């Protein structure tokens, strides 16, 4: 689980990398899976109603002439869901949308655009979509792209996390761990576990409990300290020998 101090160091260390920070904070404030974050399009984000519709994930396959990034369905039926946008994330997304629109104006025709190519199985059923640059009638407005519009899927977090591990000294952490941090902090703040499970897209609350809830040293200390405060059975003056 990320500590608040570690998150602050990461935000400060990458304050000039707007795309990474915006994606990082999106995961931080929603608990979305990595593939779900980088599959987002602007059509998925309803800024008026402050919600995000999660219905697809992005993944890499063996590269062909059209590239290697594909969009498919979410992990489970329960993963197809809506999560809500808090004030902080709302401001982050508004700023990033303005940042992206400004880049489009600066780059003009050089700004890269992407389209979806249907991939069908032998029965003619669409099973996934490949993200391509060749123009067709199915343009896609991907959220987390570089300044010139280049889309690199989840690769966009590779270099930042090398820096996080090797230069910032925050080891044994991944982008995905923001999901566990979201779950743990939500529960520690009194949110019902069923609501946290629904937000994460889990069918069973046991999945949330067993795999996404972490105990920090502070949490473990709090267990015994809270017990002591609420269950005092020893009188210091009687039990502990004090020098007179």
By the 8 A CB rule, do 194 and 209 touch? no
User: How high is the pLDDT of residue 75?
Assistant: 77
The gap from C-alpha 65 to its chain's centroid, in whole angstroms, comes to 30
Contact 131, 94 (CB under 8 A): no
Query: Mean pLDDT throughout 29-53?
Result: 96
Residue 237: pLDDT over 90: no
The secondary structure of 39-107 as a DSSP string is T-BGGGEETTTTEEEE--EEEEEEEETTEEEEEE--SSGGGSEEEEPPHHHHHHHHHHHHHHHHHHHHH
Provide mean pLDDT across the span 166-173: 93
pLDDT for 214 equals 58
Is residue 153 predicted with pLDDT exceeding 80? yes
Residue 9 banded pLDDT, cuts 50, 70, 90: very high
User: Per-residue pLDDT averaged across 138-161, rounded?
Assistant: 97
**Cα 15 to Cα 18: distance, rounded to the nearest angstrom:** 7
The SS3 of residue 144 is coil
**How big is the CA angle at 49 (ends 44 and 55), to the nearest 5 degrees?**
25
Residue 162: is its pLDDT beyond 60? yes
State residue 197's pLDDT score: 87
Q: Percent helix, strand and coil across the chain, each rounded to 5?
A: 50, 15, 35
Q: Please provide the average confidence, as pLDDT, over all residues in the chain.
A: 88
pLDDT at position 65 over 60: yes
Query: Does the pLDDT of residue 228 top 90, yes or no?
Result: no
At 243, the pLDDT band (50, 70, 90 cuts) reads: low
In CATH, the number for domain 4-166 is 1.10.443.10
Per-residue pLDDT at 202:
83
H/E stretch holding 220 reads helix 217-230
* Of the candidate ranges 108-117, 172-181, 190-199, the one whose mean pLDDT is the lowest: 190-199
pLDDT score at 239: 52
Residue 139's pLDDT band (boundaries 50, 70, 90)? very high
Residue 57 near residue 75 (C-beta atoms within 8 A): yes
pTM here is 0.85
- Confidence at residue 97, expressed as pLDDT on a 0 to 100 scale: 98
Distance CA 54, CA 32 (A): 9
> What is the model's pLDDT at position 196?
85
Percent of the chain with pLDDT over 90: 68
Closest by alpha carbon to 143, among 93, 177, 179?
Answer: 93
- For residues 90 and 225, the model is more confident at 90
Q: Where along the chain do the CATH 1.10.443.10 domains lie?
A: 4-166
Per-residue pLDDT for 49 more than 90?
A: yes
For residues 58-72, average pLDDT: 96
């Amino acid at each position: 689980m990320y500590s608040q101090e570690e998150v602050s160091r990461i935000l400060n260390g990458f304050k000039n990398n707007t795309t990474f920070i915006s994606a990082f904070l999106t995961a931080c404030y929603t608990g979305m899976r990595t593939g779900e974050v980088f599959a987002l399009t602007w059509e998925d984000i309803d800024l008026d109603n402050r919600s995000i519709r999660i219905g697809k994930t992005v993944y890499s396959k063996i590269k062909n002439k059209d590239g290697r990034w594909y969009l498919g369905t979410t992990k489970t039926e329960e993963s197809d869901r809506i999560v809500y946008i808090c004030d902080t994330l709302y401001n982050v997304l508004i700023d990033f949308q303005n940042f992206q629109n400004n880049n489009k104006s600066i780059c003009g025709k050089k700004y890269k655009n992407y389209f979806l190519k249907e991939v069908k199985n032998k029965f003619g059923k669409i099973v996934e979509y490949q993200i391509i640059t060749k123009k067709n009638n199915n343009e896609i407005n991907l959220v987390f792209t570089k300044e010139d519009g280049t889309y690199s899927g989840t690769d966009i977090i590779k270099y930042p996390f090398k820096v996080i591990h090797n230069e910032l000294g925050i080891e044994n952490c991944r982008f995905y761990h923001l999901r566990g941090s979201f779950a743990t902090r939500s529960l520690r703040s009194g949110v019902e576990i069923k609501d946290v499970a629904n937000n994460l897209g889990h069918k069973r609350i046991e999945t949330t409990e067993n795999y996404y809830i972490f105990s920090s040293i502070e949490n473990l200390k709090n267990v015994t300290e809270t017990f002591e405060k609420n269950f005092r059975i020893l009188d210091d003056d009687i039990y502990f020998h004090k020098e007179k």
